[in-house]
Amino acid sequence: MREDDFFDEAETADVWAIRQDTLNTDLIERIHAGPIQTATDVEIAVPLARLVHDEYRNRGTENNPRISVPESRATTAALRAVLKRLAVDFRLPFSDFDGFYTYWKNNNGSNSWQARRQILSELFDPLHEQLADLEAGTVASTLAEPVSSHPRTGWTRVDEEITELRRHFQNARTEQDYRNVGNDCVIVLERLSEVAYIRERHLFAGEEEPAVASTKNRLERVIEVDLGGSQNAALRKLVRAAIEQAQGVKHGATINRRYAGVAADSAILLANILRRITEGASAP
């Protein structure tokens, strides 16, 4: 599951109107009440924790969350319930948007959006890490595994998407399923583009920062900066091939398990390659 799966698409007759999706409160209530048939508690907890984190951040920084105060209370309660079923200890010192407002006022967050983001990061980041570890142990896969002894890259949003990719590939049977695997590959690459490319390090003077979706440009720059020397050419080629393979599966007319598997392997290995490169670049 992903965050968007907790929302219903709003219907509008005006094709130019901004679409405002609505929270699927029935799903949230069912999750609160107990396990559901369509997904395991682990599969629910990962995106639900991300949704709750994101909506509190939206409330604290932009004051433009997708959900209301009562819905913030319901989603927080549902998250607590599913975490309790998983025996995951998570203590959030507020239960809804109003409680978060009071909490940040009492904890030096009144005049700083960054302070509010930091408050939430300190509360939620350990949870995301714990859930990612838990999820990594629940998904068997025939896809590539990294050489590293670590089951994850450590980039939580990348790891969450890789787990979704593995799950979807494991269950894929039809051409549409395999095309969706290609879409998962593209999402993994975009998550990599978000975390591996650091503006202060990889943006050259006088340039305009490429959009996150410009994965080829951003990831090649990471390699160019973080790995100096002529050996960059082969790695840039690898990045380009992985991106093109993922896009090819997403948009291809004839897709099968072999091509989808190659694209998925490429995305997973690329994530681990970039993690190794960036770790080496940041080492003293």
Query: Between the CA of residue 278 and those of 96, 144, 201, 234, 275, what are the distances in Å?
Result: 37, 21, 11, 17, 5
pLDDT for residue 194: 94
162 Cβ contact partners less than 8 Å away, ≥ 6 residues apart = 152, 153, 188, 267, 268, 271
DSSP 18: P
State the alpha helices, DSSP H only, in 16-68. 25-33, 41-61
What is the rounded distance in angstroms from the CA atom of residue 211 to the CA atom of residue 215? 8
Query: Along the 284 residues of the chain, how does pLDDT read in single tens digits?
Result: 888 899 997 665 555 555 568 999 999 999 999 999 888 898 899 999 999 999 999 999 989 899 999 999 999 999 999 999 988 889 899 999 999 999 999 999 998 999 999 999 999 999 998 888 777 766 655 676 765 555 678 898 999 899 889 888 887 878 888 888 889 999 999 999 999 999 999 999 999 999 999 998 898 899 888 887 787 888 888 888 888 877 777 777 667 888 888 888 888 888 988 888 887 665 43
Dihedral (C-alpha) 238, 242, 248, 251: value to the nearest 10 degrees?
A: -150
Q: Which one, of 59, 81, 78, 79, lies nearest residue 68 by Cα?
A: 59
| Other residues' Cβ atoms within 10 Å of the Cβ of residue 127 | 22
Q: Are 235 and 258 in contact (CB under 8 A)?
A: no
